[in-house]
């Protein structure tokens, strides 16, 4: 059968575009069954960056499929909560163009709203719940059978229609032997298209988290069963991917890989035994990590560990069911950094009943992790959402449609849910939210502000909190008052500019030490912080008053006495495009003249050199 496997767009940022690993795995399984799979990744439209928030994307997407229905036997589409509206618009367009081709939905979202999907959308023929590695091939065999209904009734996890009525087959068990899975069928896509966006390849290490956080849906998706590929099998796949795809950087996918220490130690030993030159990252709870384990992971090539922190409040930890102990969380972040591994942490903005003190403590601690040169943490922010399959989804009656709800996760900026679907909050929960309009807007702005400050100027943000004697709540409120921020504005560059300009105005009244840190991190903040021409170089020269290492130590709290003075240095910042490169120099004018002359004689070479420096920075 000619099977088209479709990945709807999931994020509007080029660097987030990664190979659709689940579909590549399914493609390999289907090939072994004698079918001809085709992978259609609509995220590559995102890479081109030419989407509009109108409905024109529907026909753009459709062009990726054959024009004639006779060339398609089945269309399978993976689903996620945050792009389900766009997914269903694509389904509508496919059904209009190919009225008799079976359409199958699978993935985390429809696993928990399968019956509602078939009741509301006659455009969908089948929903495969849970893990589809075994059941999708069974569905294809059933569709080829002279009496399909007889075979369809036997497929575990299938929701379908018989004589117009929705039938929900019993669920099956999870796949226990992950070593039996084939390698992903990377020949079904062009790997170069992805490596140009992001050289980190996703690679499935296993499935299933044994814990039960109330906001997480994958716990129930994988039935809380911790499963992994054997260490030897996983490292075999790493070696194969290096040869076949051309990258040695991997994200080992598992909701909580480090939950089983003995397995991770075995994996690290296997990587080192084969003397592989690889970089890899994974996910862990903070209370699963120990110093000796982190050391072994670093020696085996681990460069980053993601920890879902959510909050540094013990009350919020109890509320989520995660139950981490804040002092132990801090210890885990410190020990990760001591082992030269980047701690990447996620926090949630907008907990019900969260006090200002709790919010301030979480943000202040996260800002320190991002700012401290010894830690250099990556901080991501999310708003609290109700996902189908999560325990919190039991409160779905609190949800109401709000176009702002999906503004910061929308893969097509500016897109809004179709009007006739806005009452279906159970099917479109991320286009709905449990908070009122003012609180929703405030939470969205806080998330965007924190994401920008943590990513662009963490040292000056933390210094403003510690040395400028302002609380995180006060800083966030001041930035909100400073501009007319439109949460539905699809122009991320404009939004970031507004945030950084407002932050710069706050820092302008702060102590000199804080102002100098901002000059180092964001030297062009007074003009257009994240907008610049690609046709010529821009520069700015700023006096430097302090020795930089002692300034950072003072800002981060490692030094109580004021930083050492610098009498002869200046800050020279040069940029072509949004990224600036900064030097501390005694001769800024002479150095700038050299850059100008070099750019005139070799503009492309100079541009590449500056781009490389800004990336390294």
- In order, the DSSP letters of 362-422 are HHHHHHHHHH-TTT--EEEEEE----TTSGGGGGGGG-EE-GGGGTTT-SSTT----GGGT
Please enumerate in sequence order all residues whose Cβ is within 8 A of that of 594, keeping only pairs 6 or more positions apart, or say none.
none
Q: Report pLDDT for 76.
A: 98
Q: Are 1 and 140 in contact, with CB atoms under 8 Å apart?
A: yes
Residue 558: strand, helix, or coil: coil
% of the chain beyond a pLDDT of 70: 94
CATH topology for 199-398 is pyruvate-formate lyase- activating enzyme (3.80.30)
* C-alpha span between 359 and 536 (Å, rounded): 43
Q: How far is CA 589 from CA 542, 583, 585, in A?
A: 11, 12, 9
Radius of gyration of the chain (CA): 26
| HEC-encoded secondary structure of 89-118 | HHHHHHHHHCCCCCEEEECHHHHHCHHHHH
Q: Give the tens place of pLDDT for each residue, 177-207.
A: 999 999 999 999 999 999 988 999 999 999 9
Q: Would you identify the CATH topology of the domain 2-168?
A: Rossmann fold (3.40.50)
Q: Are 468 and 514 in contact (CB under 8 A)?
A: yes
Residue 519: in which H helix or E strand, if any? helix 512-521
This prediction's pTM:
0.93
Percent of the chain with pLDDT over 90: 75
Q: Are 17 and 47 in contact (CB under 8 A)?
A: yes
Return the higher-pLDDT residue of 409 and 368.
Answer: 368
Alpha carbon separation from 78 to 9, 103, 109, 350, 433 (Å, rounded): 10, 11, 9, 29, 23
Domain with CATH 3.40.50.2300 in the chain: 2-168
Among residues 500, 411, 507, 403, the alpha carbon closest in space to that of 448 is found at: 500
Q: How many helices (H) and strands (E) in the chain? A: 24, 20
Cβ atoms of 226 and 178 within 8 Å: the answer is no
User: Could you tell me which of 133, 85, 82, 86 has the C-alpha nearest to residue 106?
Assistant: 133
Cα distance between residue 538 and residue 544, in whole Å: 19
Write the DSSP string, 262-311. Answer: HHHHHHHHHHHHTT---EEEEEE-GGG--HHHHHHHHHTTEEEEEEEEE-
Averaged pLDDT, 512-538: 86
- The region of weakest confidence among 231-240, 263-272, 402-411, 588-597 is 402-411
Contacts of 238 (CB under 8 A, 6+ apart): 203, 250, 271, 276, 278, 280
pLDDT reported for residue 97: 94
Q: Do 39 and 73 touch, CB atoms closer than 8 A?
A: no
- Where in the sequence of the chain do the CATH 3.80.30.20 domains occur? 199-398
The mean pLDDT value for 135-142 works out to: 98
Per-residue pLDDT of 315-352, as tens digits, reads: 999 999 999 999 999 999 999 999 999 999 999 999 99
pLDDT given at position 617: 43
pLDDT of residue 616: 44
Residues 483-521 pLDDT 10s? 767 766 657 778 888 899 999 999 999 999 999 999 999
pLDDT in tens, 555-611: 999 999 999 999 899 999 998 777 788 999 999 999 999 888 888 787 777 666 666
pLDDT in tens, 46-79: 666 655 655 677 777 888 899 898 899 999 999 9
Give the phi and the psi of residue 151 in degrees, each rounded to 5: -80, -35
d(Cα 510, Cα 517) in Å, to the nearest integer?
11
Mean pLDDT of the chain: 91
């Amino acid at each position: 059968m000619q099977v088209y496997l479709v990945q709807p767009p999931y994020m509007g940022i080029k660097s987030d575009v990664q190979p659709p690993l689940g579909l590549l795995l399914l493609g390999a399984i289907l090939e072994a069954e004698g079918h001809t799979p085709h992978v259609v990744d609509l995220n590559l439209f995102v890479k081109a960056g030419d989407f509009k928030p109108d409905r024109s994307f529907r026909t753009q997407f459709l062009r990726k499929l054959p024009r004639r229905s006779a060339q398609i036997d089945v269309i399978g589409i993976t689903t996620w909560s945050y792009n389900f509206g766009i997914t269903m618009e694509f389904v509508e367009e496919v059904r209009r163009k190919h009225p008799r081709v079976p359409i199958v939905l699978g993935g985390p979202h429809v696993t928990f709203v399968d019956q509602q999907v078939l009741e509301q959308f006659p455009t969908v023929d089948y929903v495969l719940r849970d893990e589809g590695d075994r059941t999708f091939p069974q569905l294809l065999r059933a569709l080829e059978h002279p009496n399909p209904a007889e075979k369809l009734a036997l497929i575990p996890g299938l929701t379908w229609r018989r004589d117009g009525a929705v039938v929900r087959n019993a669920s099956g068990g999870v796949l226990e032997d992950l070593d039996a899975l084939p390698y992903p069928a990377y020949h079904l896509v062009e790997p170069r298209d992805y490596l140009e966006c992001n050289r980190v390849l996703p690679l499935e290490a296993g499935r299933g988290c044994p814990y039960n956080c109330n906001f997480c849906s994958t716990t129930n998706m994988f039935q809380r069963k911790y499963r992994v590929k054997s260490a030897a099998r996983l490292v075999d796949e790493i070696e194969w991917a290096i040869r076949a795809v051309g990258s040695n950087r991997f994200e080992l996918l598992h909701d909580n890989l480090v939950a089983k220490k003995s397995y991770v130690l075995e994996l690290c030993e296997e990587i080192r035994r084969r003397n592989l030159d690889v970089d890899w990252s994974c996910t862990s709870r903070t209370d699963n990590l120990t110093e000796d384990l982190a050391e072994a992971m670093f020696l085996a090539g681990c460069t980053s560990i993601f920890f879902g922190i959510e909050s540094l409040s013990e009350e919020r930890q109890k509320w989520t069911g995660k139950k981490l102990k804040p002092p132990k969380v801090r210890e885990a972040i410190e020990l990760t950094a001591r082992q030269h591994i980047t701690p990447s942490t996620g926090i949630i903005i907008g907990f019900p009943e969260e006090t200002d003190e709790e919010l301030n403590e979480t943000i202040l601690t996260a800002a320190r992790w991002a700012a401290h040169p010894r830690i250099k943490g990556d901080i991501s922010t999310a708003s609290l959402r109700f996902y189908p399959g999560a325990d919190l989804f039991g409160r779905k009656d609190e949800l109401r449609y709000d176009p702002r709800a999906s503004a910061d996760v929308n893969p097509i900026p500016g897109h809004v849910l179709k009007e006739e679907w806005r009452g279906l909050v159970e099917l479109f929960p991320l286009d709905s939210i449990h908070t009122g309009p003012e609180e929703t807007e405030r939470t969205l702005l806080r998330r965007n502000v924190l994401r920008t400050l943590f990513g662009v100027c963490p040292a000056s943000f933390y210094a403003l909190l510690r040395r400028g004697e302002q609380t995180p709540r006060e800083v966030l409120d001041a930035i909100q008052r400073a501009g007319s921020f439109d949460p539905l504005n699809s122009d991320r560059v404009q939004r970031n500019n507004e945030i950084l300009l407002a932050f710069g105005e706050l820092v302008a009244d702060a102590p000199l030490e804080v102002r100098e840190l901002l000059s180092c991190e964001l030297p062009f903040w007074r003009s257009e912080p994240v907008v610049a021409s690609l046709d010529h170089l821009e520069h700015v020269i700023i006096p430097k008053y302090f020795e930089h290492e002692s300034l950072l130590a003072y800002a981060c709290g490692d030094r109580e006495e004021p930083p050492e003075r610098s009498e002869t240095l200046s800050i020279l910042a040069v940029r072509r495009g949004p990224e600036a490169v900064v030097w501390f120099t005694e001769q800024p004018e002479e150095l700038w003249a050299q850059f100008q002359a070099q750019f005139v004689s070799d503009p492309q070479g100079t541009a590449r050199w500056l781009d490389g420096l800004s990336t390294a920075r």
